[in-house]
Structure formats: structure tokens, C-alpha cells
Amino acid sequence: MGTTIQRMSLKMNLTDDPNPGFAERRAKPRIQCSYPAVVRTHLPGGGKVVAQAVLSNMSANGMYLRSKHSFQPGESLLIMVRMSTSPLSQDTVPVIAAKGVVTRSEPHTGGVFGIGLKLTHHRFL
């Protein structure tokens, strides 16, 4: 069973500190990264949202993503992360499928939002 994530053209300045003025309270250390991701959620009226994002950092308990779509605290998300920064090819790369709940959403410059996520489930595909 193969999983495909489409190439993303989301342009964001990833050199900025994604958590300015944020007091560290995490139980697990974070790994800084910059991997393409697709975020999905269902709307109350039955619709769904599919948004492109970039994974900025992750730990065993959570993720911090950047997206042009804003998500609300408490919202449940499904995230697919392609663990490679190389262009899409036929090569197989690890993909993480994760479910989580938004803990915070904050605006950044350029119409980008930072999304803090507490993981409820994850697995490698």
C-alpha cells in the first residue's frame, strides 16, 4: 500500500523563530526540521479542509506546523508528513501519519499561521 503526498509550493520563511516569546513547558525534546505535510480536518457541517503545511519541529508528544490555513484550538487534525526535502520521485521515503488536537494557532508574517499540535496517535507508513 503506497501513500503519496503531492509536491507543495507553500513558501514560508522558516528561519524565523516559530515560537517567539514562548515559555518552554514540553515534556519531550523537539527535533527541528522542515518537511512537507498535508493537514486534513472535517468541518461541523460535513465538509472537509485539506491544507498544505510545513512541519517545523516535532517530538514524541507534539508537532509545530506552519500553514496558510488557520486551525482553531481544540480542532482534531490528521497530518501526513513526507520525511524528505528532496523533490518527489519514485523513491520511497518514510511518511508519518498522525492525529492530534490543536493546542494553539498563531498568526505569523506573510499570512502564515503557526499551529501547535498535541499528538493522540502516530505511525510510520
What pLDDT digit, counting tens, does each position of 58-86 carry? Answer: 999 999 999 999 999 999 999 999 998 77
- Euclidean distance between CA atoms 109 and 33, whole angstroms: 20
**For the chain, what percent of residues have pLDDT higher than 70?**
76
- Let me know if residue 17 belongs to a domain: no
Q: Supply the range of the domain harboring residue 73.
A: 31-124
Average pLDDT of the chain to the nearest whole number: 83
Q: The domain spanning residue 76 has which CATH number? A: 2.40.10.220
The mean pLDDT value for 4-28 works out to 51
- Let me know if residue 26 belongs to a domain: no
- Let me know if residue 19 belongs to a domain: no
Number of domains in the chain: 1
Q: Does residue 1 surpass a pLDDT of 60?
A: no
Most confident of 23-32, 87-96, 116-125: 116-125
- Let me know if residue 5 belongs to a domain: no
Rounded to two decimals, the pTM is: 0.75
- Let me know if residue 22 belongs to a domain: no
Beta strand 95-108 with 112-124 is antiparallel
- Let me know if residue 20 belongs to a domain: no
**Dihedral, CA of residue 79, residue 81, residue 60 and residue 102, to nearest 10:** -30
HSE-CB of 8 using CA atoms within 13 angstroms: 25
Q: How far is CA 1 from the centre of its chain?
A: 23
- Let me know if residue 15 belongs to a domain: no
Most confident of 5-9, 22-26, 56-60: 56-60
Q: Does residue 6 surpass a pLDDT of 50?
A: no
